[in-house]
Amino acid sequence: MAKVKRIGILTAGGDSPGLNAAIRGVGKAALDRGIRVLGFKDGFRGLVENQWTQLDKTALAGILTIGGTILGTGRDKPHRMEVGGEVRDMTDAIAATYQRNRLDALVCIGGGGTHKNAYRLVQKGLNVITLPKTIDNDLALTETTIGFDTSMGIATEAIDRLHSTAHSHHRIIVAEVMGHRAGWLALGAGIAGGADVILVPEIPYDVECIAAAIRRRYAFGTSFSIVAVAEGAVSAKDAKALAAAGERKRKARTEDTRQRAASALARLEARHTGNTWRLSRELEELTGLEARVTILGYVQRGGAPSATDRLLATRLGTRCAELLEQGEFGVMVAIQGGTTVPVPIGEVAGKVKYIPADHPWLASARRVGTCLGD
Ligand code: F6P
């Protein structure tokens, strides 16, 4: 096996705290092994456009604690990328850049989308290693992901702060937490912040049941409530309609019926934007209490990584350099049983790690009296 001498590294998908710590972890450990490191800019686009910067000791210094990514990021898909006003398959262009720069391997740091894209490059014959990064913690085969801990901390602090204002005004505050289609962030921050109601996509909710929990609190003399709602949470009614529309799309036999089913599904999904506001209005109507909405948004992704994320990113990054040296490619460096292990990218790509129904966090939330909307 030929020795790895030059690698490329990129960050893709939504940014998250700890990306720079990961770049530094891979970079420093690779330099230490005599490997040259090229940092490609703005995700997969940097590979298409051959835009890179040399990551030497100086470039890697002082970035451990900084949020975002020094390389920039993007959500481009190599097989469907907009170039010069046209959408084109750029995987061959990426492979050409890889060859032109005499890369021996490519390290992609990202979440669900990045893993699907990285897998396409594996199938093209490129030597790829990935690191799991997403504030959503929804990647398969790893217990945790870079950025999750920091985001959970930020969302927890926000929920803490919402308590005093909700209490002072005797209000319901509905706080929307990110997480895409999984509820890890809302559940983790909701438990840590002591939210009274936590709504996650994995448990479709019944608004009557939430209102009843809030009314019970009121009856016991607590006139405020904090509802932590994952951005992907849906009511049981909407979940049913979405599932039926999805099924119709899957079963459609002709292009015409497929198109109609797809637009019906898109309409339902579009209705989901603003769901938190709808929920807040419904709770006002059902409880007679005043409600307010707080969308935590991108604050959850910004700023310095927590100590836990810095440590995680450094462990994953340095293990990645070891795997590069050993020539073990086509793998994501995961955390399993608390240790770093390589798992096939093909088994991560296209999968989502949802909260399992028997997850201990759910059990603990219920035991402290949190309403989960069901
Ligand atoms: O995947 C991370 C995430 O922050 C999700 O929680 C959220 O749904 C999404 O990215 C937002 O994406 P964008 O940055 O493209 O608006």
Per-residue pLDDT of the chain (374 residues; tens, 9 = 90+): 789 999 999 999 999 999 999 999 999 999 999 999 999 999 999 999 999 999 999 999 999 999 999 999 999 999 999 999 999 999 999 999 999 999 999 999 999 999 999 999 999 999 999 999 999 999 999 999 999 999 999 999 999 999 999 999 999 999 999 999 999 999 999 999 999 999 999 999 999 999 999 999 999 999 999 999 999 999 999 999 999 999 999 999 999 999 999 998 998 888 888 899 999 999 999 999 999 999 999 999 999 999 999 999 999 999 999 999 999 999 999 999 999 999 999 999 999 999 999 999 999 999 999 999 99
Partner residues linked to 83 by β-bridges: 86
CATH architecture of structural domain 152-301+357-367: 3-Layer(aba) Sandwich (3.40)
User: Count of residues for the chain?
Assistant: 374
| Active-site residue, from 15, 136, 149, 238 | 136
Helices (H) and strands (E) in the chain, counts: 13, 13
Q: Where in the chain is the domain with CATH 3.40.50.450?
A: 6-146+305-347
| Structure tokens that stand for 226 in this block | 């904090």
Pocket residues: Cβ below 6 A from ligand 1: 14, 75, 111, 134-136, 178-180, 231, 301
- Give the C-alpha distances (Å, rounded to integers) separating 93 from 11, 45, 49, 97, 254: 18, 10, 8, 6, 35
Q: Give the N- to C-terminal CA distance of the chain in Å, as an integer.
A: 56
Neighbour-count burial of 206, counting CB atoms closer than 10 A to its CB (0-12 exposed, 13-18 middle, 19+ buried): middle
Nearest atom in ligand 1 to 298's CA: 4
Q: Which helix (H) or strand (E) holds 108?
A: strand 105-110
Nearest atom in ligand 1 to 300's CA: 4
Three-class SS state of 130? strand
Give the residue among 191, 192, 154, 188 at the shortest CA–CA distance from 294. Answer: 154
Buried b (16+ CB within 10 A) or exposed e, 126-145: bbbbbbbbbbbbbbbbbebb
- Give the C-alpha distances (Å, rounded to integers) separating 222 from 148, 163, 280, 285: 32, 12, 18, 18
Q: Which of 114, 136, 200 to mutate to test the pocket of ligand 1 (most atoms within 8 A of CB)?
A: 136
Give the residue among 32, 24, 30, 31 at the shortest CA–CA distance from 64. Answer: 24
Active site annotation includes 136: yes
Residue 182 in contact with residue 352, Cβ under 8 Å? yes
Nearest atom in ligand 1 to 178's CA: 6
Give the residue among 245, 359, 342, 230 at the shortest CA–CA distance from 295. Answer: 230
Q: Where in the chain is the domain with CATH 3.40.50.460?
A: 152-301+357-367
C-alpha span between 105 and 127 (Å, rounded): 5
The bridge status of strand 86-88 relative to strand 171-177 is: unpaired
C-alpha span between 156 and 150 (Å, rounded): 10
Give the residue among 26, 355, 363, 17 at the shortest CA–CA distance from 204. Answer: 355
C-alpha span between 109 and 133 (Å, rounded): 6
CATH architecture of structural domain 6-146+305-347: 3-Layer(aba) Sandwich (3.40)
Partner residues linked to 244 by β-bridges: none
Q: Whose CA is nearest to atom 11 of ligand 1?
A: 14
